[in-house]
């Protein structure tokens, strides 16, 4: 009986303890969520993004003001849209002018590599950007002036020779470059960067990846405000530049399949000199584009442009969308021989009937404006063509294209002649592909090296340090730029905070509570609050927001019994010293589950930090309501990805009175773009790291400038593989110089310590004590 009584007493004690720990904080509701709250946060953000992608179709209309009173008025009215599209594609560099087409021999004494009775085939090269050329084949009609001039764009994995019929790989009936030449056109067939991974890496560093060549260039270019798509559009536009100065001008067209179809659509949308375009094997940017290979990821494209809107930019010129099958890409090359890190993404296809239905739905988004544009252009032929085969370039499509170019009904002549043998015996296209790849890599690496000078001219030179008031005033436009143009700004939260809490820790010096705060439907903030037990009535103390890193959780920061080698339970240590501590859950958890959020956010002009900033803003709103929190002393301290947060969030939210960046401060642009540093994100699987055009806007010194004049500190372990001491010191020197110019050098510090990627908690704790005046 006594034993039963003891067991019953133990059960009652456990139940009482559970009841105690379930108690919420005053003025909050009980938190009843079960399961993995961090995973639920990621799922909620995903739901929000899927809703916004679907809603973007209707929201695009706000960016368009077409004038249909005449063809000229219409073209002028959509020019602002065209200029914004250029920026999204990274078509911002001035091209080489004039364009001189070079006829080059390739292992032969002559550039002439093949001919028929109707045309000759030459190997050619033309300048595009400084040290960047286009290469390919030029088909010139024999004995007569060309009826039209066409850039024929193959899919990325097709060579120009395949499209001309010199090597196998494309069915004869789909060799549209050859067929157009047979019909009297001058045809230029450029080389595109392919999807192999042969050169994706740096063999000198033994850092090779399985990223397709297109992704490898995309990653570095995206950070610099450029794009693999933009680079290749520039090559086509440079060809158009060459076409134009001819003594006897001829109509210009573009015809492409797969990646070539994508380029044909974007190029025709940008350049009104192109009179006709055929887009085959590409449906245009869609709300599901996040599932495609990452080298098609375009920042902000879904806000303003879908297939229908790109069609509006091409019109009133001729546009034909071919409904044949699309290229099938199962994903990047499989990991092999130590190569990995490529982003997931695939291309699928359907039946021709299904493809036509997909394109029809895309065009239905703006049917009214498309019909009006068609009327002013007197377009009789339909935009959509249901192909007679699974491959591009059938008789119907070619006839529509030729008719649009020559201005009268024209029937494409049937295929008649194939080029005789290629004089370049057993051509190996790899050296040419490598030249094209290396040129774009070198161009982008130079952009990275030159970006510091650009930021000096466009950022630092515009800061007025003559007074604190003037300085803060000149910072505001840059703060707006970082939030709205680089990271992406969400609208203000639409839901009340609805704080929900429950106790999960009861330590000798403090108690800990889980907290959730609502922002939008399905989107909430989550974290752990540590409250010292010795708080007195009416007392106000500083709060330190302690941020975990990649794949971390608030418990890594707060649990005193689980000291990981990285975090050293620094939140618990600070709570032991009497600070109020809050450890937020950031959504960079779940591996590809959170990285896919970035893929879904980018087309909306958003990023993961669009949500992180709003979550922190809401957290500060709530913390400021707590009776013992001093809202003037709310500080930030983050490690690793939390250090990345320490640079971005306090730069935007001035209620953070100071910021400490641990294990992340760096020459960040070089870290993301360089191929000469083994620790570069160019070689890793963290494909979400590039932020569009960050390289020309904000490195870490510029972000720290937006934190100034508030106190700012860097914590750096000598052996931290995230960076190298020299880079960190170089970037920090700019910060130290700024604080000196503001006459407050004591407000910034850097601590180097013997150690690695971890919270050291020595100089930083003293920095907190000094600037938060706690303990007193």
Give the pLDDT confidence score for residue 166 in this predicted structure: 94
Closest CA to 515 of 549, 545, 552: 545
Per-residue pLDDT tens for 594-645? Answer: 999 999 999 999 999 999 999 999 999 999 999 999 999 999 999 999 999 9
What DSSP designation does 296 have?
Answer: G
For residue 6, pLDDT beyond 70: no
Q: Quote the percentage of the chain above a pLDDT of 70.
A: 95
For 240-254, 294-308, 451-465, 507-521, which range has the lowest pLDDT when averaged over its residues?
240-254
Give the pLDDT band of residue 714 (cuts 50, 70, 90).
very high
State residue 422's pLDDT score: 81
Split at pLDDT 50, 70, 90, the class of 386 is low
pLDDT value at residue 321: 92
Mean pLDDT of the chain: 93
**Quick check: 8 pLDDT over 50?**
no
Q: Residue-wise over 743-773: b if at least 16 C-beta within 10 A, else e?
A: eeeebbbbbbbebebbbbbebbbebbeebbe
For residue 5, is pLDDT > 50?
no
Q: How many residues does the chain have?
A: 776
Q: What is the pLDDT of residue 428?
A: 92
pLDDT digits (tens, 9 = 90+) for 484-499: 999 999 999 999 999 9
The confidence score (pLDDT) of residue 323 equals: 85
* pTM, two decimal places: 0.95
Query: What tens digit of pLDDT does each residue of 534-583 get?
Result: 999 999 999 999 999 999 999 999 999 887 789 999 999 999 999 999 99
CB 383 within 8 A of CB 363: yes
- The mean-pLDDT minimum among 109-118, 657-666, 714-723 falls in 109-118
Q: Which residue has the higher pLDDT, 388 or 664?
A: 664
Q: What are phi and psi of 745, to 5 degrees?
A: -65, -25
Beta bridge partners of 594: none
Task: Determine phi and psi for 329, rounding to 5 degrees.
Answer: -125, 110
The per-residue pLDDT for range 205-258, each reduced to its tens digit, is 999 999 999 999 999 999 999 999 999 999 999 999 999 976 778 999 999 999
**For the residues 297-304, what does the mean pLDDT come to?**
98
CB 190 within 8 A of CB 160: yes
The stretch 264-268 carries a mean pLDDT of 98
- Return the biggest CA–CA distance within the chain: 114
pLDDT-derived band at 22 (thresholds 50, 70, 90) equals low
pLDDT of 3 reads 44
- Please state the rounded mean pLDDT for residues 664-686: 97
* Angle formed by the axes of helices 468-481 and 700-707, nearest 10°: 130
């Amino acid at each position: 009986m006594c034993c039963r009584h003891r067991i019953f007493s133990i059960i009652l004690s456990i139940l009482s303890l559970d009841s105690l720990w379930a108690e919420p904080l005053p003025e909050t509701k009980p938190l009843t969520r079960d399961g993995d709250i961090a995973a639920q946060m990621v799922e909620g953000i995903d739901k929000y993004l899927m809703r916004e992608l679907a809603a973007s179709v209707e929201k695009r209309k706000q960016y368009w003001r077409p004038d249909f009173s005449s063809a000229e008025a219409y073209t002028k009215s959509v020019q602002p849209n065209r200029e914004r599209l250029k920026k999204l594609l990274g078509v911002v560099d001035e091209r080489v002018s004039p364009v001189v087409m070079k006829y080059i021999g390739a292992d032969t004494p002559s550039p002439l590599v093949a001919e028929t009775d109707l045309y000759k085939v030459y190997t050619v090269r033309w300048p595009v950007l400084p040290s960047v050329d286009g290469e390919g084949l030029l088909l010139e009609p024999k004995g007569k002036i060309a009826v039209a001039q066409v850039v024929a764009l193959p899919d990325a994995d097709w060579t120009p020779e395949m499209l001309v019929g010199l090597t196998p790989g494309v069915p004869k009936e789909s060799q549209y470059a050859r067929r157009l030449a047979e019909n009297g056109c001058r045809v230029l067939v450029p080389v595109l960067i392919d999807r192999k991974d042969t050169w994706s890496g740096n063999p000198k560093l033994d850092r090779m990846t399985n990223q397709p060549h297109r992704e490898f260039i995309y990653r570095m270019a995206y950070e610099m405000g450029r794009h693999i798509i933009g680079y290749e559009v520039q090559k086509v536009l440079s060809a158009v530049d060459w076409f134009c100065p001819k003594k006897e001008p001829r109509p210009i067209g573009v015809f492409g399949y797969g990646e070539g179809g994508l380029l044909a659509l974007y190029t025709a949308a940008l350049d009104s000199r192109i009179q006709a375009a055929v887009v085959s094997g590409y449906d245009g940017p869609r709300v599901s584009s996040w599932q495609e290979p990452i080298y098609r990821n375009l920042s902000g494209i879904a806000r303003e442009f879908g297939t229908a809107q790109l069609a509006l930019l091409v019109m009133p010129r001729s546009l034909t969308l071919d409904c044949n099958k699309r290229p099938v890409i199962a994903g990047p090359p499989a990991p092999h021989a130590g190569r990995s890190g490529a982003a997931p993404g695939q291309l699928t296809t359907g039946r021709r009937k299904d493809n036509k239905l997909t394109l029809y739905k895309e065009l239905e988004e703006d049917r009214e404006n498309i019909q009006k544009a068609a009327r002013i252009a007197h377009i009789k032929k339909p935009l959509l063509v249901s192909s007679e085969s699974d491959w591009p370039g059938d008789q119907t499509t070619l006839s529509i294209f030729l008719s649009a170019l020559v201005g009268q009904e024209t029937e494409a002549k049937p295929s008649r002649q194939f080029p005789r043998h290629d004089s370049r015996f057993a051509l190996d296209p790899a050296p040419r592909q490598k030249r094209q790849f290396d040129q774009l890599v070198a161009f982008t690496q130079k952009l990275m090296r030159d970006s510091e000078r650009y930021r000096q001219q466009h950022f630092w030179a515009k800061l007025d340090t003559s007074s604190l008031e003037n300085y803060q005033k000149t910072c505001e436009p840059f703060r707006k730029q970082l939030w709205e143009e680089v990271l992406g700004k969400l609208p203000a939260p639409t839901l009340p905070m609805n704080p929900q809490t429950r106790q999960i820790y009861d330590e000798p010096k403090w108690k800990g509570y889980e907290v959730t705060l609502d922002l939008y439907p399905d989107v909430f903030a989550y974290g752990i609050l540590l409250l010292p037990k010795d708080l007195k009535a009416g007392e106000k103390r500083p709060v330190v927001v302690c941020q975990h890193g990649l794949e971390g959780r608030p418990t890594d920061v707060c649990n005193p019994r689980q000291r990981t080698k990285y975090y050293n339970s620094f939140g618990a240590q600070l709570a032991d010293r009497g600070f109020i501590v809050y450890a937020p859950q950031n959504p960079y958890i779940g591996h590809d589950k959170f990285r896919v959020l970035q893929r879904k956010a980018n087309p909306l002009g958003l990023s993961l930090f669009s949500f992180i900033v709003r979550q922190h803003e809401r957290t500060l709103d709530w913390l400021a309501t707590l009776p013992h929190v001093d809202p003037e002393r709310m500080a930030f301290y983050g490690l690793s990805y939390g250090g990345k947060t320490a640079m971005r969030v306090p730069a935007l939210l001035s209620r953070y009175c100071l910021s400490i960046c641990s294990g992340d401060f760096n020459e960040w642009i070089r870290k993301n773009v360089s191929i000469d540093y083994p620790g570069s994100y160019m070689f890793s699987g963290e494909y979400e790291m590039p932020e569009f055009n960050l390289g020309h806007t904000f490195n870490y010194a510029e972000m720290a400038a937006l934190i100034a004049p508030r106190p700012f500190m860097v914590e750096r372990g000598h052996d931290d593989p995230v960076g190298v001491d020299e880079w960190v010191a170089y970037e920090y020197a700019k910060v130290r110089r700024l604080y000196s110019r503001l006459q407050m050098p004591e407000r910034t510090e850097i601590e180097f310590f013997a150690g690695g990627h971890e919270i050291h908690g020595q100089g930083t704790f003293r920095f907190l004590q000094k600037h938060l005046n706690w303990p007193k």
